[in-house]
Amino acid sequence: SPNFRAYSLVDSSQVSTFLISILLIVYGSFRSLNMDFENQDKEKDNSSTTGSFNGNSTNNSIQTIDSTQALFLPIGASVSLLVMFFFFDSVQVVFTICTAVLATIAFAFLLLPMCQYLTRPCSPQNKISFGCCGRFTAAELLSFSLSVMLVLIWVLTGHWLLMDALAMGLCVAMIAFVRLPSLKVSCLLLSGLLIYDVFWVFFSAYIFNSNVMVKVATQPADNPLDVLSRKLHLGPNVGRDVPRLSLPGKLVFPSSTGSHFSMLGIGDIVMPGLLLCFVLRYDNYKKQANSDSCGTPGPGNISGRMQKVSYFHCTLIGYFVGLLTATVASRIHRAAQPALLYLVPFTLLPLLTMAYLKGDLRRMWSEPFHSKSSSSRFLEV
């Protein structure tokens, strides 16, 4: 019936959004875990050659969010949203250029494993010096060149598929390089962002007479080439036929009929993705701790089957169910929905319940990785 078709749960664009967002979270989490392994190996090498005091030099590129940053992040995001809402015409070119630069670096990071695989048989892994710019391997140069090429094509064409590719690179890079140190910080961050998302989607129209979140997310920006041609008076045929750009702050997929696009903001991927990255690291940490203690069993009131269920799989299933619930709600209400309103409860509540049943809640709540690293460093000194 027509009503059933109008409220069908998913279409091709929504299925694509589901699959891509889950793959990005899984891939970003495992890239983050692999970076931990590489840092541990570098720390061992440094401690064996130059002493243990230099062991933390490999972690300078990783940003860990503390409690204060988690509390003020929604406030900072709200200020940025208002600046984009009121002064978009004034800052759109600067914002577009900054976004393009960040997307270039992030997409190069996304392509790096593939480029390392392609260049391994034909070139050594020696780094090439570029003076003050630093030293880079052939794989890093190849990935950066491909990323620059893709950004240039996106600027010239404005195609949604290229914008999605850049958004994917941003998602993976943020999940890999930003860390949540504890479950307490995770709860503070996600709870604050839930309130932020709900307010700006549901209640901003009562104050600003417009849905601030939707307007900022869907507003296209002027193409920098068009602006440059007008500033330099290059003539009507130079740089004037380039399209306006939809910025890579979201994933968009067209429906099979082409009548609409399914859209998911990268914040709805990255923020739950940081939680999944945290639980994946904790699963690995707990596995190593159990192997060091010769397989000490869990609490006696928990079955062995329950102990085998990982926090990562539990939270990933919760993310999928929350995303599906958000999609159903948007189809029923025929309006944009704050995805974090559904994603945060469906990821945090099962995780907290499982951690309590397994007896890990106290350990996960307050920096479970800090005590191990600090004690081992003290013993080495």
Marked catalytic residue, from 164, 226, 268, 360: 268
Torsional sign, CA 301, 307, 311, 315: negative
- Is residue 197 flagged as an active site residue? yes
Closest by alpha carbon to 364, among 290, 286, 303?
286
Q: How far apart are the first and last CA of the chain?
A: 73
Strands (E), 72-221: 128-129, 135-136, 178-179
Place of tokens 């559904």: 342
Distance CA 8, CA 22 (A): 21
Distance CA 299, CA 339 (A): 36
Distance CA 333, CA 205 (A): 16
Provide DSSP, 300-348.
TTS-HHHHHS-HHHHHHHHHHHHHHHHHHHHHHHTS---THHHHHHHHH
Marked catalytic residue, from 11, 197, 226, 360: 197
Place of tokens 């939680």: 275
Cβ atoms of residues 240 and 229 within 8 Å: yes
What residues have CB less than 8 Å from 66, skipping those under 6 apart? 181, 185
DSSP 135: E
Return the SS3 of 232.
Answer: coil
- Is residue 360 flagged as an active site residue? no
Place of tokens 């690291």: 281
Please, which residues bridge with residue 140 across strands? Answer: none
Q: Helix 138-157 vs helix 88-119: angle between axes, to the nearest 10 degrees?
A: 140
Distance CA 30, CA 280 (A): 8
Radius of gyration of the chain (CA): 23
Active site positions, annotated: 197, 268
